[in-house]
Amino acid sequence: MSQTPLRRSVVLNGHHTSVSLEDEFWEALREIADAQECSMNALIAEIDRARRGNLSSAIRLYVLDDLRSRMGPRAG
């Protein structure tokens, strides 16, 4: 597992910005975008519109929420 965040450039509302995430989060975000049949930029823009804080943190929380929703309710 990578502990070092990787900085990548994305386009939000026509403006270039960079986002730092660990490689595992970039991979999970790509899988989510593929499942939703949208681009990474489109998915990140959707996350950006709904966020309240830091974009990198919002993306991590989005990935976590997606994972939890696929796991279903916890037993017990």
Q: Which fold has domain 6-71?
A: Ribbon-helix-helix fold (1.10.3990)
For the cut 90, the answer to whether the pLDDT of residue 13 exceeds it is no
What is the reported pLDDT for 76?
A: 45
Distance CA 41, CA 33 (A): 9
E-strand stretches of the chain: 6-12, 15-21
What is the reported pLDDT for 3?
A: 80
Confidence of residue 1 (pLDDT cuts 50, 70, 90): low
Domain map (residue ranges) of the chain: 6-71
* Digit-coded pLDDT (tens) for 29-49: 999 999 999 999 999 999 999
Q: In the predicted model, what is the mean pLDDT of the chain?
A: 91
